[in-house]
Structure 1
């Protein structure tokens, strides 16, 4: 209340930022995005050909990594380029979902100091207006305006700094997950390509053609 009505948008931004941080911390857990041992298990399934549509759908709904691997398994009998294209398309959707709400968190980190500056300006305007009306006789009125300005500035920075740090943290975390998922998808792609390529059979050697002239 001491910061004036300009504190209202800052408090709203802080509540939204806190909700986003808690939701992303839960969603972006490593065991939730990259279940341990899943890639090796899927590769063994693919090699033993123990796959069916229901199995693939269950894998796709389990985790982001599972969705990426399931996309490759769904077209496992197609050429390598088509499988790779399907993995890339699915990967873009997976990354988009992992980065959900991060743009909002980055926006809060950007506008937090601006909201604090806005409250500072409002507080200074109030202070000077009171000085114009009542003069310098009441220092408490000036102190109230200065206090309102400083409280808004501090509140805006208090919201913006953690929001910016956590925004960068989640971005780097998603980037690391993308690298790991790309590596696991490449291993599965290599296995599918090798299993689909028939073994090369040696070509029979042609018998030498007998010369029509007898050697003397």
Structure 2
């Protein structure tokens, strides 16, 4: 819990760092120097701070800022989650290998249960099906890996959603700002075209900000997706190597684990019928 809060604070700091810099720049601005006597008066260039530009972007800049915090949070969190050593830590792998070498499958189950990870969960679930044969064990193994893959891929897909939605939010702010600009133009007339061009430049800030968030979000989406697939294959290779040459004949009908079996004999079959069916003809 403390680690997640720390990551969130880092993401918020990175996202709001630009605003803090803009506030400092706003206070540090000095009045433009007066032109020298006799010098031709040129256009006055004003440097706008990031905070000023943020305010000019309108209300859509707040959801865009939220998307930026979410992008940094997801990228940092998923980069850690999809690492090979995160899915299959060396301590978990080496402990399971030692117990498999000794044939202590009950101990291997408890080791994996006490040290949760993608690797440990896959080995634990596979061991619980070991008494049902090779096919059931392999199906359980692949099912657990696919479950982890699906859960992590769902989180990665949020970056794709951000990449699609953020430019649309910025475009919405631009359109609403353009409507307001042309309403003022219709009311005051075309007395100063520079005022209209300035208004158009202001509303385009929202679109530019949306694109600035969408591009890194899309990049991290593809990077993390490929990173996850590589880590899944790495974990799968280790688990498969553990169960290679497994003596399934000696483990037939053995129950390794603590899972409860719910399936029972049908209640319409009596013990006498079951005993009679078991007798040789």
Q: Work out whether the TM-score is over 0.5.
A: yes
C-alpha contact 2:95 2:111 (8 A) present in aligned 1:
no
- 1:182 and 1:26, CA in 2 relative to 1: closer, same or farther beyond 3 A? closer
- Whole-angstrom CA distance in 2 between matches of 1:159 and 1:100: 20
Q: Please, which runs of 5 or more residues in structure 1 have no aligned partner?
A: 199-216
Q: Out of 134, 148, 152, which is 2:206 matched to?
A: 152
- Whole-angstrom CA distance in 2 between matches of 1:159 and 1:57: 45
Give how far 1:4 is off: 1.0
Compare relative contact order (CA 8 Å, sep 6+) and give the higher one, 1 or 2.
1
Q: Which residue of 2 aligns with 1:196?
A: 248
Q: Out of 43, 60, 79, which is 1:25 matched to?
A: 79
Q: Please, which runs of 5 or more residues in structure 2 have no aligned partner?
A: 1-54, 251-281
Q: Out of 66, 69, 72, which is 2:123 matched to?
A: 69
Q: How does 1:89-128 map to 2 (within 5 A)?
A: 89-128=143-182
Deviation string for 1:91-126 (max 9, x for gaps)?
122212333521221100111211122122122212
TM-score, with normalisation over the residues of structure 2?
0.63
Deviation string for 1:151-197 (max 9, x for gaps)?
111100110000000011111111111212222222223232xx334
The CA RMSD measured in Å over matched residues stands at 2.2
Q: How does 1:24-43 map to 2 (within 5 A)?
A: 24-36=78-90, 38-39=92-93, 41-43=95-97
Q: Which moved more, 1:141-150 or 1:154-163?
A: 141-150
Q: Which moved more, 1:90-99 or 1:5-14?
A: 90-99
